[in-house]
Amino acid sequence: MTTPVLHPQQGAPAPEPERTPTATAPARARSGGLIALIAGSGGFVVLVIALVFLVVTPRALVVPPIPDEAVAAAAEGAAPGEALFGELNAALESQDREAFFARVSGDAVAPLTLWWDNMEQLGWTSAAMSGDEYDVPWSDGSVEVPVVLGASLAFAAFAPRGSGGDDAGKHFVQGFRYVASVDVVDEVATITGWRTDGPKAAWDFEPLYVARGEHVLIAGRQSEQALVDSLVAEADEAAAWVLDDAEAQGRDLPLDGFNVFATDDQSIFDTWFVDEATAGWQMEAAAYAVPTTRPESWTEGMDTTIATGDSTSTSVVFLGPSAMEQLDGTLPHEFEHVMHYTAVPSSWSDPPRVTVEGWATYQENRRLYDGAYAPADSQAILELSWCYDNMSSSGIADLAPEQFYVEDAFCYYQFGASMFAYLDSLGVDAWDVADAAKFDGVDPLTAAAAQGADVSEAAWQAWVDQQTAGVVAVRY
Ligand SMILES: [Zn+2]
C-alpha cells in the first residue's frame, strides 16, 4: 500500500491514503520552517509548523487451516501449542514471572525480561499474548509464530458494561507485534527466540524510568530522568483539562489518564515506535499518538474480558524534542487524539486528516483560549486567515477537504478545527460529529450533513470569511 507522506518544506504532495486496514498515528506539527503571520493590528506572531502522518499497517488477519492432528490433539487438550499459550497467558494474567519464563529460553530470555521489567515499571495490571496455537507443531521441530504481546498499562482504556458496541465490558491491552521462535521437544513447546515485527515500542529498547501524576504516566530513558520528572505537572494539568472537558460535555470517559513516552534526543525520537527504514517514509513530527494493537483473537489461556480483533487498542503519546517548546498546545492535542481513537477505534476506515487533526486542533484551541475556539486576535485565527487567503486562489476546490494533502498542510489542522467551530456555532454537537466522521471515514461537514444538520461547504467558507475579516496574514 502507499503511505501518505508530506514534507511542507519540500512541497511534495502526499497521496490519499488507501482504504486499507490502517491505524493512523496522528501527529502534531513539529517546528519546521518559521512562519510569521502579521495581523491587521500590526502585531506579529511566529508560527512553527510542519507535519507528518504515521501509518501503521496491521498484518492482514489470516486464519490458516487447522491440521487434523492438531484438532485431534486439541480434543485431548494436549497440543504443544495450546499448552504453551495456555501457560504463558495464565502466567501473564497472574504476573507470575517464574511460570512465564519456565516456557522461555535461549535468545528469547533477554528481550522478554526487558519487556517484563518495563511492564512492571509501566504499572501493568494484566497482559496477554495472542497467536495461532496450531502454528506450533505437534511433533519435534521449530517454527516461527507471529504473536501480539501486550499489557494493560497504568492508564489503559475500558469500555463499561452497557456502554454499547462490541467492546462493552472489555478492557484493553497495549500490544505490539512480535515473532516468537518456538521449539518443540518431546511434545513440549518453548519460546527460544524473539524479535519485533515492525516498529519497536519504547519498552523494547532499554529499561525505562517512569514518573506518575494523577492522570498521567511519563516514561523515558533512565538517562533522561530529569526530563521525565519535569513533564509530570504540566502533563497532569493538560490531562485533567481534557478529561474534565469531556465530562462537562456529557461524554462517557473511555479512560482516566494517559501514558506518555518522552525524549529530548532526536535520534531516540526517530526510532522509538517508528521504523522509518521499514515504513519507507520519513518522520517530521513534534509528537504523536500511537495506536497500539489488540490481540487478534482469543488464544488459549487468555482472559476473556480482554478486547480482541483488528481494531486499534488504546493509544500512547510520544513526545520528542520539538514538542518541549510547545507543551501547552501539544499535550492537549495528543491527549485529544487518544480520546478520539479510544472512543472510535480504527480498523477499516481511514478518516481524512481534516477530521482527525481538525478535531485535536479544535480542542487544543479551546484549551489554549479558555474554552473558546479562537479569539479574533489569536494565533489560530492568524493561521486560518493565511490559509484562507492563500488556498482559495484557485477557487473553491482548493478549500475542499480532499485538497488538504498539499504543501501547506498545516492549513488542514486549522481548516478542520474551523469546521468543528462552525458546526458548534450552529448548535451541532461537535463531539458527535467528530466521532461519526472518524467512524465513517469522512470529513466533518459530510458527517454533520449525514446527521441531518443544515450545513454546506459554502456556508462554512462564509463563516471562515467572517472570522478572518480584517486580518492580514503574511508568511515569510
Ligand atoms: Zn495531531
- In this prediction, residue 17 carries a pLDDT of 30
Ligand 1 center–CA 325 separation, angstroms:
16
Do 148 and 283 reside in the same domain of the chain?
A: yes
pLDDT band (50, 70, 90) for residue 165: confident
Ligand 1 center–CA 334 separation, angstroms:
6
- In this prediction, residue 45 carries a pLDDT of 32
Do 92 and 226 reside in the same domain of the chain?
A: yes
pLDDT band (50, 70, 90) for residue 171: confident
> Per residue in 15-38, pLDDT tens?
323 222 334 456 554 433 323 333
- In this prediction, residue 407 carries a pLDDT of 59
Ligand 1 center–CA 195 separation, angstroms:
30
Ligand 1 center–CA 38 separation, angstroms:
25
Query: Of 348, 370, 403, which residue constitutes the final position of a domain?
Result: 348
Percent of the chain with pLDDT over 90: 56
Residue 71 has pLDDT above 90, yes or no: no
- The verdict on pTM exceeding 0.85 is no
Ligand 1 center–CA 28 separation, angstroms:
4
Average pLDDT over residues 41-63: 33
Tell me the β-bridge partners of 83. none
Do 132 and 1 reside in the same domain of the chain?
A: no
Measured between alpha carbons, how far is 20 from 310 in angstroms, rounded to an integer? 12
Do 137 and 36 reside in the same domain of the chain?
A: no
Do 106 and 33 reside in the same domain of the chain?
A: no
> Per residue in 258-286, pLDDT tens?
999 999 999 999 889 876 655 555 546 88
Exposure of 365 in the CB half-sphere (CA atoms within 13 A) = 27
Do 16 and 106 reside in the same domain of the chain?
A: no
Percent of the chain with pLDDT over 70: 75
> Per residue in 184-202, pLDDT tens?
999 999 999 999 998 899 9
> Per residue in 300-359, pLDDT tens?
999 999 999 988 888 999 999 999 999 999 999 999 999 999 888 876 667 888 899 999
pLDDT band (50, 70, 90) for residue 160: low
- In this prediction, residue 424 carries a pLDDT of 96
Ligand 1 center–CA 282 separation, angstroms:
16
Ligand 1 center–CA 360 separation, angstroms:
6
**Residue-averaged pLDDT of the chain:** 81
List the domain range (segments joined by +) for residue 47: 1-53+351-476
Do 310 and 443 reside in the same domain of the chain?
A: no
Ligand 1 center–CA 233 separation, angstroms:
22
> Per residue in 73-88, pLDDT tens?
455 556 999 999 999 9
Query: Of 300, 326, 348, which residue constitutes the final position of a domain?
Result: 348
Do 420 and 276 reside in the same domain of the chain?
A: no
Do 125 and 169 reside in the same domain of the chain?
A: yes
Task: Tell which residue, 441, 446, 444, has the closest CA to residue 348.
Answer: 441
> Per residue in 342-387, pLDDT tens?
888 876 667 888 899 999 999 999 999 998 899 888 889 998 888 8
- In this prediction, residue 64 carries a pLDDT of 45
Domain count for the chain, please give it. 2
Do 356 and 408 reside in the same domain of the chain?
A: yes
Tell me the β-bridge partners of 397. none
Ligand 1 center–CA 356 separation, angstroms:
7
Do 169 and 246 reside in the same domain of the chain?
A: yes
Ligand 1 center–CA 27 separation, angstroms:
4
pLDDT band (50, 70, 90) for residue 13: very low
- In this prediction, residue 354 carries a pLDDT of 87
Query: Of 313, 348, 383, which residue constitutes the final position of a domain?
Result: 348
- In this prediction, residue 75 carries a pLDDT of 52
Do 35 and 109 reside in the same domain of the chain?
A: no
Place of cell 471562515: 464
CB-based contacts of 304, cutoff 8 Å, min separation 6: 298
Ligand 1 center–CA 177 separation, angstroms:
24
Ligand 1 center–CA 361 separation, angstroms:
7
